[in-house]
Amino acid sequence: MTTLEQQVRASVLIAFITLLPVATAAQEPGKDGQDSMDTSMSMDSSMSMNMTRADNQAPLGVMGGDMMAKGMWMLTYRYMRMEMEDNLIGSDNVSPEQIVTTVPNRFFGLPGQPPTLRVVPTQMSTDMHMFSAMYAPTERLTLMGMIPYIERSMEHGTFRGPAGTTRMGTFTTKSSGIGDLKLMGLFSAWKSGNHRVHLNAGVNLPTGSIDNEDEVLTPTGARPTQRLPYPMQLGSGTIDLMPGITYKGRSDNVGWGTQYLATIRLGDNDEGYALGDAHQITGWSSYSWNPAMSASLRINASSINEVEGIDPAIVAPVQTADPDFQGGDRVDIGIGLNFSGQQGSWRGVRAAIEIGLPVYQNLNGPQMEADWILNAGVRIMF
């Protein structure tokens, strides 16, 4: 990491930490204690009632999009599946034959490494089971913790020898386990009528493994067990900062919102690399037919940098082993449905589903393109 990059990241961290007490101080009660108390109680009551509306919360795919009423808990289970197939260089489709005859192998010159890539991923699926809890100790602060269980599977095609387009065979690698733990605080920054702004202050802790291995098929026909490339690992291996800001508004049966959220890597992991910084902007609108059901439309734009550094144990003639062939830009459109129980034992129980389809992808080097993303989950508030 260069000195300039270190200075930029340090500046972001300092600014981020500085904003937190400012946001909290902006919500401190005024001198008229009784008026402030009455206003706070009114806001708590209003928020508590609105929390039962299906359209009150952000779409399921938005992380840290909602604050809770004081004293409330919310437990969430969310299932996410992502399917990827075929490959892009930038925004252009490329075939496996094009990749193995034209894309240089960065490891060429090391023992057994051919001049071009000879193994091409053809399909990848990711299943994530996310368990999270939220609690609001005050009206102005909501705390959140999230831990995922992740299952990844990637199919590959191997081409025979150091050159040519003769296919040797296929193989599949898999990894599964606990991912990185995320902790986040949501700080109320501004309220006016049906408009809300809060700051997101999160940290990603490296509880996911970064040394998963599996058996592969090499261009020589051997089947060694090797460390899996970067997209197949379960964690980042680094402590990461997650700053953001979220706005929500509503009028009658129509709601809307937008969020910016970043992931800033604060250093390299024990294997000598850091995943790329990520920046995400999302915006949504929702419509509610009645308090129990709503639909949402969301657009999500993300930009992820290349991997910095390199894991010396990840050496293979495949694009996923190259740190420069990671990250890129993507825009998705998501359509969601939200359901919320209104009475009896179902009050406080929410179910939601959202499916996302990429409409734009510009990827760094040859990478698999995303086909679709599904989010489905259940939330229980009490």
Give pLDDT, residue 51. 66
Q: How far is CA 353 from CA 48, 57, 298, in A?
A: 23, 13, 12
Above 60 in pLDDT, residue 32? no
pLDDT digits (tens, 9 = 90+) for 66-111: 999 999 999 999 999 999 999 999 999 999 999 999 999 999 999 9
The structural domain count of the chain equals 1
Residue 333 is part of a domain; what is its CATH number? Answer: 2.40.160.40
Give pLDDT, residue 230. 99
Per the structure, the complete domain to which residue 181 belongs is given by 3-381
Give pLDDT, residue 291. 83
Pick the closest to residue 54 from 352, 314, 324 (CA basis).
352
What mean pLDDT is predicted for residues 17-22? 38
pLDDT digits (tens, 9 = 90+) for 103-137: 999 999 999 999 999 999 999 999 999 999 999 99
- Does pTM top 0.95 for this prediction? no
pLDDT digits (tens, 9 = 90+) for 197-256: 999 999 999 999 999 999 999 999 999 999 999 999 999 999 999 999 999 999 989 999
Residue showing tokens 């009658």 = 252
C-alpha of 71 from chain center? 28
Distance CA 325, CA 319 (A): 6
199 and 182 Cβ atoms separated by less than 8 Å? no
